[in-house]
A and B are shown apart, each in its own frame.
Chain A
Amino acid sequence: MKRWIRWAGWLYPAEWRMRYGAEFDVFLNDAPLRWRDLGDVIRGAALMQMTSWMTYWKMALLAGFAGAIIAGGIAFAIPNRYVCTATLALEDNSGTSRLQMAGSLQKIFFAILNRDNMIALILDPQLDLYKKERERLTVEQVAADMFRKNVFVVPYEMGTPGVQTFRIVFSYPDRHKAQQVVARLTQEFIEKELKLGSNGSTLEVLEPPVLPEKPTSPVRPAIALLGALGGSLLGLVSLAIFRRMQTYAVVTMSIPKDTKRFVDSQIAAGPYRSISDYVRELIRADEQRHK
């Protein structure tokens, strides 16, 4: 136990150890120590670190490190998300305008992603999507709040007249399921297009859904970096507040309103920043006079 407490003594600032280290070691040898003294020494060292100059750097480093560890832990607790994409092209040679083609696409999209179809996809035993979430939410809620918000049809221009290209995008924590869902949606798009599309239109799969290799989120290094920056900032602000509390005593004063008006005019005209500054200056002048 003594060895642990002696090691904890190394947590004190170097300048403190220079001044008190030798006698502190002897004290630890002489005194009958208890386990709770370990906590007492660690607490004493932390307080001494906070009151020692040079510790702004140390605090920024330490709090930044702690922030990075915490944020990193949180980042690793967030499940990976994989994005799977399929690219399709809707071709219509019957002279349909681009606007009409976009409307046709939208019609198919809503037909596929109706409530019943989404629920059927979620509950499909092969997919079995959002299993954990379904323990606390109804399948309707999961469909509307989770599935629907992670599936997109994104049209984009290819420049070819009569062709509307678009992507089906789905993101999910399981990359295999993400691919299966996009494959199913692609298949359904093809089937629905045959039923709902105009006579002269065809749907072609330009890029089939490929199994995503890497997750797109969370970006763990960025989260850890943000945690480090946040931790450093919080540490520095806490240290500044602590130092201020150690240095300054708060005094509440009552003064007549006329006097307050005079002080305000002095602040407006003079080099004082506040009433506190003005009173401090007066007291300093008085101190000098007494010296």
Chain B
Amino acid sequence: MTDPNFLVLASLAEGDKHGYAMMEDIERFAGVRLGPGTLYGAITRLEERGWIRGLDAEDRRRPYRITGAGREYLEEQVASLGRVVKTARERLKPA
């Protein structure tokens, strides 16, 4: 799962983070390093869709928070992904 939108939402589900903190967190839990253009592209899209919102900047570093709609979307994605993972796991079991 390398969709930047999903990874950013998954990172923010743990708590508010600014750009660099998100980048480090995503690299830690997903093993994927999002480049600056990709990360800020995802942040822009998610904010436009109302799934995250920017908080007041602290020392020019603006933290972001997942919104209710964002959490709902993430839950749907996780459930859908869970079904795929479950099915794949069952099919991989030796007969």
Residues of A participating in the B interface, judged by any CB pair closer than 8 Å: 5, 16, 20, 22-28, 30-31, 33, 36-37, 39-45, 47-48
Contact = CB atoms under 8 A, between A and B. Distances in A.
Given A23-B18, A24-B40, A30-B20, A36 B57 contact: no
Given A23-B19, A26-B60, A31-B20, A40 B44 contact: no
A250 B68 CA distance: 27
Nearest to B18: A23
Nearest to B23: A31
B38 A44 contact: yes
Contact of B37 (A26, A30, A43): A43
B43 interface: yes
In the A-B complex, the 9 residue pairs with the closest CB atoms = A44-B37, A40-B35, A40-B37, A27-B19, A30-B20, A41-B37, A23-B62, A26-B60, A44-B41
Interface residues of B, number: 18
B44 A48 contact: yes
B83 interface: no
Nearest to B45: A51
Most buried by B among A23, A31, A39: A23
Given A26-B60, A27-B36, A31-B36, A20 B44 contact: yes
Contacts of A37: 35-37
B17 to A, nearest CB: 12
Nearest to A5: B36
A23 B44 contact: no
Contacts of B18: 23, 27
B8 to A, nearest CB: 13
Contacts of A39: 35
A48 B41 contact: yes
A194 to B, nearest CB: 79
Nearest to B62: A23
B37 A16 contact: no
11 contacts: A24-B19, A26-B61, A27-B36, A27-B40, A30-B61, A31-B19, A40-B35, A40-B38, A43-B38, A44-B35, A44-B38
A40 B38 CA distance: 7
A26 B36 CA distance: 11
Contacts of A45: 37
B33 to A, nearest CB: 9
Given A26-B19, A31-B19, 15 more contacts: A5-B36, A20-B40, A22-B57, A23-B18, A23-B19, A23-B62, A27-B19, A27-B39, A37-B36, A39-B35, A40-B36, A41-B36, A44-B37, A44-B40, A45-B37
Given A23-B18, A48-B44, A42 B61 contact: no
B35 A41 contact: yes
Nearest to A43: B37
Contact of A27 (B20, B44, B59): B20
Nearest to B38: A40
